[in-house]
Structure 1
Amino acid sequence: MPMPQEYQLASQHYESFLTAAREALHLTTRNQTYTCVQATLLVFRHRLTAEQILMFADTLPAVLRAIFTSGWSIDDFKPEFGDEGDWKAEVKAVRVDHNFSNDETPARVAAVLRQHVDLPRFEKVLQQIGPDALRFWGFEASARI
């Protein structure tokens, strides 16, 4: 069996995502962009159970999946999902000395990510996780439950 295209084209897909995210975040470097994307993914990951992490990771392109799962520990889990204010503050607090995130970062990363995933599959998994997950990634939860 040949190598799946998802892996053959992983770098190209990631570069496309990173370029779109850099533009949406109004940043100048790949490193700045990476930190904002990583922070957003990690803040979301902390709110998921192990099973939910695996379900969500499976919806992501290969390199983003690796970023999302890298360094994961079961001890990271936060039982309270929090609200948008919590998410924004936590995104800004990740690697604070190297982080260019602002209050718009989670929503802008979410908008770009939605353009780089299989959207119906992505939304279906978020529905299984719950309304807070839908809101985190920019879906109106009340209309879909």
Structure 2
Amino acid sequence: MVDARDCASLPTTNMAWNMVVGVLHAFRWRLQVTQVVAFAAVLPPMIRALFIEDWDPEKAALPFGEPADWLADVCSIRTRHNFSPPDAVASVASALRKHVDADAFESVLAHLPSGASRYWQPKPPSN
């Protein structure tokens, strides 16, 4: 949460928590059941728990769409307490990549729909 908070320039980890949950759930909504399980397997335990919380495996997957669609879905989580910035997805991607096995993460992304790799692109380095 600290890395996500810092990547997004949020003042608190509470704000980061909501953003991380939103980013994880918005991604999960775009996957089939077997894809959710495969992706969850490469996540650290606490993030894995957030990824699958309140999951309805019967719900149909959404199309990957575009970054604006992702952000709208991220912001739809706990709307009264959601302070996700416009770069929320890239911020969480940057933070998450610090805590996963890079090879395993890329391998699972390669087996998911084409939008998955775009979704998890980290923020470009700042100068």
State TM-score, norm by structure 1. Answer: 0.80
Partner-residue secondary structure (3-state), 1:129: coil
Counterpart amino acid of 2:33? Answer: A
1:119 equivalent in structure 2:
102
Partner-residue secondary structure (3-state), 2:89: helix
Equivalent of residue 72 in structure 1, options 49, 55, 63? 55
Shift of 1:108: 0.7
Residue 35, structure 1, aligned to residue 2, structure 2:
no
Counterpart amino acid of 1:61? Answer: P
Partner-residue secondary structure (3-state), 2:30: coil
Counterpart amino acid of 1:21? Answer: A
- d(CA) in 2 for partners of 1:85 and 1:63? 27
Shift of 1:45: 0.2
State TM-score, norm by structure 2. Answer: 0.90
Residue 55, structure 1, aligned to residue 26, structure 2:
no
Shift of 1:137: 0.3
2:67 equivalent in structure 1:
84
Instruction: Specify the structure having the higher radius of gyration (Cα).
Output: 1
Say which structure is richer in helix.
Answer: 1
- d(CA) in 2 for partners of 1:68 and 1:117? 14
Equivalent of residue 95 in structure 1, options 64, 78, 95? 78
Shift of 1:90: 1.2
List structure 1 segments (4+ residues) > 3 angstroms apart after TM superposition. Answer: none
Q: Deviation per CA, 1:45-98: give whole Å up to 9, x if none.
A: 000011000000000000000010111002443341211110011111211100
Q: Report which structure shows greater RCO (CA 8 Å, sep ≥6).
A: 2
Number of residue-to-residue matches in the alignment: 122
Q: CA RMSD in A?
A: 1.3
